[in-house]
Structure 1
Amino acid sequence: MNDAKYGVLLVNLGTPDAPTTGAVRRYLAQFLSDPRVVDVSPLIWKPILQGAILPFRSPKVAKLYQQIWMDEGSPLLVYSRAQQRAVAQRLPNIPVELGMCYGNPSLNEGVEKLLQQGVENIILLPLYPQYSCSTSAAVFDGVSRIFKDMRTMPSLHFIRSYPTHPLYIKALVTSIEKSFQQYGKPNRLILSFHGIPERFIKTGDIYYDECCLTTEKLKEQLEEKLGYPKEQVMLTFQSRFGREPWLSPYTDKTMEKLGSEGIEHVQVVCPGFSSDCLETLEEINEQNREFFIHGGGKQYEYIPALNDDPEHIDLLEAMIREVCKK
């Protein structure tokens, strides 16, 4: 490690400050105004967002957040804070801060805290294992805006993605193995990733390729370590928004189909989510459970995100140390 002081900014997507319509509306307004997320001309999109999307979606989404809200706050923030604390304990000489791309704590707050501690090299670690222009690139954009007006800016080390990092795959296999031990091996293991519009892939986004890389590595390790057949592992995509085609097969449609085809037992893991959040705790663990059971399935388990599991912290620590050694 050179003499320049390093600091780490862990970044996740973000969350409302409270499970209320007002807080959700403020959060969604910021999130859905990012051109990395919705790449429609603001002249067209802003009236639609303000006049139709936010008034309709905000109360609905607030009710969903109320179902999963923890005593300590939003699950995504609670688990992200736990990750921050765990990484900081592993790296006592390196400041570790947390920033959210949307909402609080903001990226600006995280960067400012690092600079106040004399950091000259910022390791920017988006907690997205698979790169997408709508997530990882949005983080880079947000941090770049902070640096834009600085006379002297720190060096930036951007960890773009880690879809096949051995410690990432190892942590996922361990979490899946625990579920198999507790509930038995399912007829199908579903790997559900967050979807993006197909159009993004056609115009150069590598997200789909990186999801496939993670899937193939997981299949290999699950067969080798747990004896679980590759052909019983399925890749699907969740959380689509709007009317244009998104990456498929869709998770919800898959659940309906599997139940009707006589598949009795499924387990679902979401490898693209480093922390449990609305999309895992409500959409996957609740909505998709209903789709599967209603379709004729019998047994359904959701395998939690890696959160602050020690093997996940091993991964984050290792990636940070790899940068510091360069």
Structure 2
Amino acid sequence: MNPEIGVLLMNVGTPDSPKVSDVRKYLSEFLNDPRVIDIPWIARKLLVNAIIVPFRAPKSAKIYKQMWTDEGSPLLIHSEKFRDGLQADLGDKYQVEIAMRYQSPSVEEGLEKIRKNNPKKIIVVPMYPQYASSSTGTCIEEVMRISSKWWTIPEMIFVNQFFDLQGYIDGFIKRGKEFDINSYDHVMFSYHGLPIRQLDKVYEEGLCDDRDCEHELTDENHFCYKATCYATTRAIAAGLGLSEGQYTVGFQSRLDDKWIKPYSDKIVEEKAKAGVKNMLVFSPAFVADCLETLIEIGDEYQEIFEEYGGEKIQLVPSLNSDPDWVKAFANHIRTK
């Protein structure tokens, strides 16, 4: 009997190898996406293909080589293990596949594996807890583009965010409790950054800065990435018993100075200058460890911290394929 329900788990992607040529190919596909760099076509092509990719690919290749394992890319490895755990929990009624928005395994490959079994329903899950057009939005758009060419289109369900899923929050609380939080001088919650203009596009009128997204989640801002990041932080902090003065929210991986502030690397620098010696860092925007967690936080922030007088940046591992997380997400899928 064929599975009745297909589940497609999506993530941003990874190069096929840490070779410069593969990294260049990945960056080119990624950064030429108009939802990622949302500027006019000609300007984007010039910026990405003539400036960013040629200069960034060799540097990024060295970083990918640094974190690459014998099994391959950590993001892909964690994604495969999570898929296998989810499949085992959901059983034969479901068919679980993974796809990367950029590179391999492709969205088309993942969808085709599901389509061939003629499912009654497909549940598409971009594995980004907080919605952003440049991550979740582009995944959904690509699935719609591909499936629109099918003669028979089954029921499609898109999970566009799950920042408030209790199993997700509990997963990071569990991770945090693996450390003696009171032994750290400060805690930082670091999320991937976004250009401020992409936040503003969420609203029909006015700007993100016109709202109090740092402190409240409303019907108006529930798709605002900044608002959901702060809501996520409040929930995890509450579960860990942290007071507001014990933690800071930051945003990493910016391309220029018009991205969401405060910047995580600047927080690391400022805290070190202020005498903080040990800092615990969560990265709840990522449910699987990857370059942004392992290298940017684990290595690069450690160097910044030491340069300004700090001693230890401790990265809290992501949820990856933790059994409790797998079970919680399987139960979430069953509700769809």
SS of 2:134's partner is coil
Measure how far apart 1:244 and its partner are: 4.3
| Contact 1:129 1:161 (8 Å CA) reproduced | yes
Question: Using the alignment, how far apart are the partners of 1:285 and 1:4 within structure 2?
Answer: 41
Confirm whether residue 314 of structure 1 aligns to residue 327 of structure 2. yes
Confirm whether residue 261 of structure 1 aligns to residue 274 of structure 2. yes
**5+ unaligned residues in a row in structure 1: which ranges?**
none
- Counterpart in the other structure of 1:157: 157
SS of 2:123's partner is strand
Q: Please give the TM-score of this superposition, normalised by the length of structure 1.
A: 0.93
Question: Using the alignment, how far apart are the partners of 1:41 and 1:299 within structure 2?
Answer: 43
Question: Using the alignment, how far apart are the partners of 1:110 and 1:315 within structure 2?
Answer: 23
Where has structure 1 moved over 3 Å in runs of 4 or more? none
Question: Using the alignment, how far apart are the partners of 1:157 and 1:271 within structure 2?
Answer: 24
Question: Using the alignment, how far apart are the partners of 2:313 and 2:27 within structure 1?
Answer: 31
Quick check: 43-52 or 107-116, which moved more?
A: 43-52
- Counterpart in the other structure of 1:82: 81
Question: Using the alignment, how far apart are the partners of 2:313 and 2:289 within structure 1?
Answer: 18
SS of 1:149's partner is coil
- Counterpart in the other structure of 1:167: 167
- Counterpart in the other structure of 1:234: 248
**5+ unaligned residues in a row in structure 2: which ranges?**
203-222
Question: Using the alignment, how far apart are the partners of 1:296 and 1:274 within structure 2?
Answer: 30
Aligned residues: 314
Question: Using the alignment, how far apart are the partners of 2:331 and 2:185 within structure 1?
Answer: 34
SS of 1:17's partner is coil
SS of 1:307's partner is coil
| Contact 2:301 2:313 (8 Å CA) reproduced | no
Confirm whether residue 21 of structure 1 aligns to residue 35 of structure 2. no
| Contact 1:192 1:236 (8 Å CA) reproduced | yes
- Counterpart in the other structure of 1:9: 8
- Counterpart in the other structure of 1:281: 294
Confirm whether residue 131 of structure 1 aligns to residue 145 of structure 2. no
Measure how far apart 1:26 and its partner are: 0.6
Measure how far apart 1:47 and its partner are: 2.4
| Residues 132-211 of structure 1: pairs in structure 2 closer than 5 A | 132-180=132-180, 185-204=183-202, 206-211=224-229
- Counterpart in the other structure of 1:116: 116
Quick check: 248-257 or 146-155, which moved more?
A: 146-155
> CA RMSD of the aligned region, Å?
1.5
Give per-residue Cα distances to partners, 1:66-116, cap 9 Å, x unaligned: 000011001110110111011011012211000111110011111000111
| Contact 2:98 2:110 (8 Å CA) reproduced | yes
SS of 1:97's partner is strand
Question: Using the alignment, how far apart are the partners of 1:4 and 1:90 within structure 2?
Answer: 14
Question: Using the alignment, how far apart are the partners of 1:27 and 1:286 within structure 2?
Answer: 23
SS of 1:245's partner is coil
- Counterpart in the other structure of 1:48: 47
- Counterpart in the other structure of 2:237: 219
Aligned residue identity for 1:139: C
Measure how far apart 1:283 and its partner are: 0.5
Give per-residue Cα distances to partners, 1:261-292, cap 9 Å, x unaligned: 01111011100101111111110000001111
Question: Using the alignment, how far apart are the partners of 1:18 and 1:49 within structure 2?
Answer: 21
| Residues 281-300 of structure 1: pairs in structure 2 closer than 5 A | 281-300=294-313
Measure how far apart 1:230 and its partner are: 3.4
Give per-residue Cα distances to partners, 1:33-61, cap 9 Å, x unaligned: 11110011112221232222211111110
Question: Using the alignment, how far apart are the partners of 2:331 and 2:227 within structure 1?
Answer: 24
| Contact 1:8 1:97 (8 Å CA) reproduced | yes
Question: Using the alignment, how far apart are the partners of 1:180 and 1:310 within structure 2?
Answer: 22
Give per-residue Cα distances to partners, 1:191-231, cap 9 Å, x unaligned: 100000011112216111110110111121111xxxx3332
- Percent identical: 36
Question: Using the alignment, how far apart are the partners of 1:60 and 1:299 within structure 2?
Answer: 25
- Counterpart in the other structure of 1:304: 317
Measure how far apart 1:4 and its partner are: 8.9
Give per-residue Cα distances to partners, 1:237-261, cap 9 Å, x unaligned: 00111x2411111010110110000
- Counterpart in the other structure of 2:29: 30
Question: Using the alignment, how far apart are the partners of 1:123 and 1:91 within structure 2?
Answer: 13
